[in-house]
Amino acid sequence: MANNVSDQFFEPSTDTNANFGNSVSGQTNSFFLPKVYSKQVLNFFRKSSVVEAITNTDYAGEISAFGDSVRIIKEPEITVYQYERGADVTATKLTDQELTLVVDVANAFKFIVDDIETNMSHVNFRDVATSSAAYALRDAFDSGVIAEMFAGVSASSPNHILGSDNATDLAAGTFDGTGNLDIGFGSSEHDPIDVLSHMARLLDEQNVPEEGRWFLANPEFYEVLVQSSSKLLSVDYNAGQGSIRNGLVSSGKLRGFDMYKSNNIAATTNAAGKCLAGHMSSTATAQTITNTEVLRDPDSFGDIVRGLHVYGAQVLRSEALVSAFYGID
């Protein structure tokens, strides 16, 4: 039997379909050698997931497969009339406006764990890879729903889009949508706390309840918000509880908002970034893992692990969302 240096290390082939193959881009792929190596696996940094904290998930239990739909009846609005003695009371005809939450997004994963990797390694690659896949599905869910929420903000009657992504002139930024808002603490800049205050006012005008309000922005916005000129979210001013848990930035509210941070807000064209505020009732989401299965690979000695995640999102109350485009100079 032929024997060479690579055989003793079970070096994988250069086939791009091979696990840990040397031809796979992005990794050196020369570390799965059953000799002596660490008992710890370096996991990916996990981005915080925020969608389940800022949306209505009451309908999640009503779906089971891709293409399912949930019909949501909006509460009818009753008109109150002034009553005069002897006069007939005008009746309000009940309406049953219907919104449909459709599970129209499906994401899947699939990987193969070779028997050699299972038998020769102290690492349970199936568990490690499944954990990574679960995170990737959750991350895709977050990005998709946040994009849906930005797209669902009311643009007229009422106009809840502050600033604009079309303008490149920071100085033109105003709350009426003529440019992206130049945030900062200079005389001609918008203090970021003023942006939150204006968002809160717009929600107040639509009778959006204060309980359940949230604010979402990326790290760049928070960098400005916590500068020394602001001192709003420093751990010194937050009862020493400044840690981030599932994207939640602070233990208390700011201008009535629970403060969340996310890297899943899509990039802008001209503005430095965009942020979003709203109420939990504004958007409904429903998600489920429909299939997870393990089966033997017919083409190799290994197990195929695959799963399917489906979800849907529907903005129910566009007036309960406010977005803003901002610039930083």
Q: What is the pLDDT of residues 163-179, one digit of tens each?
A: 888 765 544 455 655 56
Half-sphere exposure of 293 toward its Cβ, with a 13 Å CA cutoff? 7
Q: What is the pLDDT of residue 246?
A: 62
Point out the residues of the chain with pLDDT beneath 70: 1-48, 73, 75-76, 95-97, 121, 167-180, 228-246, 251
Distance CA 142, CA 139 (A): 5
The angle formed by the CA atoms of residues 163, 152 and 245, to the nearest 5 degrees, is: 85
Residue 291: the pLDDT is 78
- The one-letter amino acid code at 158 reads P
CA distance 231 to 229: 6
CB 167 within 8 A of CB 178: yes
Domains of the chain, start order? 49-73+103-329 (3.90.1690)
* DSSP labels, 111-138: EEEEHHHHHH-SS-HHHHHHHHHHHHHH
DSSP secondary structure letters along 206-231: TT--STTEEEEE-HHHHHHHTSTTT-
The pLDDT, as a whole number, for residue 244 is 45
pTM listed for this prediction: 0.76
**Phi and psi torsions of 105, nearest 5°:** -125, 130
pLDDT of residue 179: 62
